[in-house]
Amino acid sequence: RAREVLATPGVRKFARESGIDIGRVKGTGANGKVTREDVEKFMQGGNQVTA
């Protein structure tokens, strides 16, 4: 099974409230952890997870 998305509870909330499915955000942190900046970049069209 795929590993859960790594991100702190606060970042997960930020993504939710921004209407972003955090599973689609490419994480740049340790072990692919998604940071708040990653979510922000995703909203601007970057950091997309390639299928």
Partner 1 sequence: MVVGEFTEEVDVLVVGAGPGGYVAAIRAAQLGKNVTIVDKAELGGVCLNRGCIPSKALISAAHHYEAAKEETFPGIATTASLDFAKVQEWKQTVVDKMTGGVKTLMKGNKITVMEGEVFFTGANEARVVTEYEGKKIHFQDCILATGSRPIELRALPFSKRVISSTEALSLPEVPERLVVVGGGYIGIELGQTYAKFGSKVTIVEGLDSILSVFDAQLTRLVTRNLKKYNVDIHTGALAQSVQEDENSVTLTFKVKDEEKTVTADYVLVTVGRRPNTDEIGLDAAGVKLGEKGLIEVDSQCRTSNPHIYAIGDIVPGAALAHKASYEGKVAAEAIAGKASTVDYRCIPAVVFSDPEIATVGVSEDEAKKQYGEVSVGRFPYAANGRATALNATDGYVKLIAEKESGLLVGAQVIGVEASNLIAELGLAIEMSATLEDVALTIHAHPTLGELVMEAAEVGLGSPIHIVAK
Binding-site ranges for partner 1 (CB under 8 A): 1, 3-4, 6-9, 12-13, 16-17, 19, 30-31, 33
Nearest residue (CB) to partner 1, 3 versus 44? 3
Smallest distance from partner 1 to CB 18, Å: 8
Cα separation, 2 vs 17, whole angstroms: 24
Nearest residue (CB) to partner 1, 9 versus 45? 9
Cα separation, 1 vs 35, whole angstroms: 23
User: How large is the C-alpha radius of gyration of the chain?
Assistant: 10
